[in-house]
Structure 1
Amino acid sequence: MSDEIKALWQRMAEGWAAGSGERFAAVFAPDVDFVNVRGEHQQGREAVAKSHQTLFESRFRGTTLGVEEPAVRIVSADAAVVHVASTVDSETARLVRTHAQAVVERRDGAWLITAFHNMVPAS
């Protein structure tokens, strides 16, 4: 179960590397509550895909998402809380380091991120 949940972040990183908002957002539930590093709330997978596509076509064009080992705490057979640190890197520099807390649920046999709060930690 934990490996399936951790794989969501690998898929997210693959979508980021491809510059595809749609692929990046595919790990989120259709009704996800997503809070980005600026504290802006987005509701729904489509909104997350659209906002990330804009980033991939501008500020984060050609960047990669590095993901550290997610810490998964199973809270029921169909739910978990995940903490994970990540980085956004260009070919020459680290652009940002973040920490996210997520709620992951199993829906119709598939694990999806249903709530995601991302932030930039203090130095």
Structure 2
Amino acid sequence: MTEQIYSLWQRMERGWAEGDGDAFASVFAQDVDFVTVRGEELFGRRAVAQGHGRLFAGPYRDTKLTAEISLIRPLSSDISLVHVTSSITPAGITTHAQAVVVQRDGVWEIAAFHNMIPKGNP
């Protein structure tokens, strides 16, 4: 389970590095509830892909996302709570996220994601 969860963030990092909103969003469930760093609520993988596609075409063009998982807490055999700190370079931004990761039909995906920029960060 742990390896599959880590691989979600590795895929997310690759999608970001490629500037590909669809690849970035591929780790999220079709019906994901996603809260952005600005507190905006996005519903569904398509909304996450489109929103990040705009970011990759604009302010986050040619940036790199590096994620560090600090907690994986299994809540059941098919559900885990995950805490992640991510850095966006060279923008100098650090984010903290809490995610609910679920296994559906043998595939792990992020069902809920709440992302924020800690106070004092740009």
* 2:101 match: secondary structure: strand
* 1:56 match: secondary structure: helix
Shift of 1:69: 3.1
Q: Give yes or no for contact 2:69–2:83 (8 Å, CA) kept in 1.
A: no
Q: Deviations over 1:66-120 (max 9, x none)?
A: 1113410011010000000001112xx52x1000000000011000000000001
Shift of 1:2: 1.0
Q: Which aligned runs of 4 or more in structure 1 are off by greater than 4 angstroms? A: none
Question: Could you say which residue in structure 2 is the equivalent of 1:109?
Answer: 106
Q: Give yes or no for contact 2:100–2:111 (8 Å, CA) kept in 1.
A: yes
Superposed CA RMSD? 0.9
Question: Could you say which residue in structure 1 is the equivalent of 2:94?
Answer: 97
Partners of 1:105 and 1:45 in 2: CA distance: 15
Q: How many residues align?
A: 120
Structure 2: any 5+ residue segments left out of the alignment? Answer: none
Partners of 2:113 and 2:69 in 1: CA distance: 17
Partners of 2:94 and 2:75 in 1: CA distance: 27
Q: Give yes or no for contact 2:71–2:83 (8 Å, CA) kept in 1.
A: yes
Question: Could you say which residue in structure 2 is the equivalent of 1:78?
Answer: 78
Structure 1: any 5+ residue segments left out of the alignment? Answer: none
Amino acid in structure 2 at the alignment position of 1:68: E
Q: Deviations over 1:16-73 (max 9, x none)?
A: 0000000000000000000000000000000000000000000000000011134100
TM-score under structure 2 length normalisation: 0.95
Question: Could you say which residue in structure 1 is the equivalent of 2:55?
Answer: 55
Question: Could you say which residue in structure 1 is the equivalent of 2:43?
Answer: 43
TM-score under structure 1 length normalisation: 0.94
Amino acid in structure 2 at the alignment position of 1:7: S
Aligned-residue sequence identity (percent) comes to 53
